[in-house]
Structure formats: C-alpha cells, structure tokens
Amino acid sequence: MYLVDAHCHLHEFNDMEVLNYCGNPSLGILAVSDNYTSSLETLKISSKCLNVVPSVGIHPWNVGKVNLGEVEAVLESARNVRFLGEVGIDKRFVPESYEKQVEVLRRFLEYASTNGLGVNLHAAGAWSDALKMLFKYDVKVAIIHWYTGPPELLNDIHSVGYYITVNPAVSLQPKLRDIVSKASLDMILTESDGPYVYRGIRMTPEKVLDVVHEISLIKGVEAQEVFSTILRNYRDALRAVGL
Ligand SMILES: [Zn+2]
C-alpha cells in the first residue's frame, strides 16, 4: 500500500510531522509552495526527503499582495525543479485580483511550457479559463487540484493526459463525489491539501487512505485497484516531466 499526496503544503506542517512524512517509504508527496519564502522552504525540505517532489509557485490568493519581481524570483528558484505550483487563478475566493492572477499565471505557464515543467494548478471558480490557458501554452502535464468544476470538462482534461486530485473533503462534499463518479480512474490522483482545514477536518497525508476508500466505494472498484491505479498515474505524471 502506497499513499500518493499529489498536493500538500508540507512547509506548513510542524517539524515533528515533517520528520514523520520525510522518507516514509509508503508515501509520495508532491509538495507545493505559496510564495517565494515557502518555495525556498519546500526546496530545503525536499533536498532531504527522497519521497518529496518539490513544486515552487505563488498561490493565487497571494498574487494580489506580491510584485512581479517575486514571480521572477520564484522562477529563479525553479531551476532544478520539475513542477510549478501552487499556481493558478481563482474567481471564487479572490475575484478582486483576478486580472493580475491571469497575468501571473501566463508567466508561469510560459515558463513551464518552455522548460517542459508540470503544473500543480488551483482554479476555483475559473476552471474553464484555466484549462484554456493550459491548452494555449501546451503545458506538458497538469495536476488540477481539488477539481470541483463542470463535469463536462473532464473529457477535455482526460484527452490530453492531465490529472485531477481528490482529497479528504470527498467524504463531505457532494460536488466532489459527483466528480469522482464521473471521472475515469486513470485521471485521478489523491491529495491532502494539508494542513488545510475543511469543515473541521485537518487534512493530512495519512488521510489519503480514507480518500482511497471513498473513491473505491463511489466507483465500486476494489481499494487495491484504486491504490495501484493512482500510484501508476502518479509515476506517469512524474515521468512526463523527466522524474
Ligand atoms: Zn493547496
């Protein structure tokens, strides 16, 4: 049994927790960042933990607060990195900075496209716009985090080999359950989005185990098959960017 956490804010966990996750042979973490400082923290953690793949970026919730110099600084830090994230656009929670978010995401996607990087994408309330941008920049592989967008877009996402992630909110969020029922298993990855708290649940990498069981129940597929397919998806996503 191997747990895949394809979107985790590992730098926000306390030292004891990081120590516990770091090097765990039955856990793979794609660690995302929220700004320049956390990008450096993520890189520091991943340099010591073989099971952690680093991703640097500026979270769309932070884009309104940063200058474009910080975007370039993050890209400087990306020299030995194969994923950008958490990057994206968000019309739902931070509509006031949407234009700037689009501008910043363009820069990240242009960089990802030129350098063959993958993208770990946040697109709340802007699913269709974000997908159009990924297509426009011909991004190699995208992991669309906590996908609760229109089910009609699942085919487009699948057709280019992109992935969506499902997290512990699946036990409570009808929209996410509906997406799981409609998405092909070979486009699904699991995540924690930890240590984010959703309706009182602190989401952590070990809770990915519950996510696998929920997916198994919703889809009527043996848990073992869910585990092995998600691990295969994760390895394929990493291989696509040369990892
Ligand atoms: Zn996140």
Q: Domain segments of the chain: what residues?
A: 3-240
Q: Which residue has the tokens 């804010």?
A: 9
Q: In the structure encoding, which two tokens stand for residue 19, read together? A: 């120590």
Span from the CA of 85 to the centroid of ligand 1 (angstroms) = 9
Q: In the structure encoding, which two tokens stand for residue 240, read together? A: 């696509």
Backbone angles phi, psi at 141, to 5 degrees: -140, 135
Q: In this structure, are residues 55 and 85 in contact, taking their beta carbons and an 8 Å threshold?
A: yes
Span from the CA of 53 to the centroid of ligand 1 (angstroms) = 15
Q: What is the pLDDT of residues 162-209, one digit of tens each?
A: 999 999 999 999 999 999 999 999 999 999 999 999 999 999 999 999
Q: In the structure encoding, which two tokens stand for residue 83, read together? A: 């994923």
Instruction: Return the pLDDT at 64.
Output: 97
Q: Is the pLDDT of residue 160 over 90?
A: yes
Span from the CA of 224 to the centroid of ligand 1 (angstroms) = 27
pTM of the full predicted structure?
A: 0.97
Span from the CA of 7 to the centroid of ligand 1 (angstroms) = 6
Span from the CA of 184 to the centroid of ligand 1 (angstroms) = 23
Q: Side chain identity at 148, as an amino acid letter? A: T
Span from the CA of 240 to the centroid of ligand 1 (angstroms) = 22
Q: Is the pLDDT of residue 96 over 90?
A: yes
- What is the average per-residue pLDDT within 62-84? 97
Span from the CA of 141 to the centroid of ligand 1 (angstroms) = 18
Span from the CA of 127 to the centroid of ligand 1 (angstroms) = 15
Span from the CA of 92 to the centroid of ligand 1 (angstroms) = 15
CATH of domain 3-240: 3.20.20.140
Q: In this structure, are residues 153 and 126 in contact, taking their beta carbons and an 8 Å threshold?
A: no
Span from the CA of 125 to the centroid of ligand 1 (angstroms) = 15
Distance CA 201, CA 207 (A): 10
Instruction: Return the pLDDT at 241.
Output: 97
Span from the CA of 143 to the centroid of ligand 1 (angstroms) = 12
Backbone angles phi, psi at 30, to 5 degrees: -100, 105
Instruction: Return the pLDDT at 216.
Output: 98
Span from the CA of 42 to the centroid of ligand 1 (angstroms) = 13
Q: What is the pLDDT of residues 6-27, one digit of tens each?
A: 999 999 999 999 999 999 999 9
Span from the CA of 194 to the centroid of ligand 1 (angstroms) = 7
Span from the CA of 221 to the centroid of ligand 1 (angstroms) = 27
- What is the average per-residue pLDDT within 109-121? 98
What band does 135 get if pLDDT is binned at 50, 70 and 90? very high
CA angle 223, 206, 209 (to 5 degrees): 10
Q: Is the pLDDT of residue 1 over 90?
A: no
For every residue of 135-202, DSSP letters joined together read HHTT-SEEEETT--S-GGGHHHHHHTT-EEEE-GGGGT-HHHHHHHHHS-GGGEEE---TT-EETTEE
Instruction: Return the pLDDT at 146.
Output: 98
Q: Is the pLDDT of residue 30 over 90?
A: yes
Span from the CA of 229 to the centroid of ligand 1 (angstroms) = 23
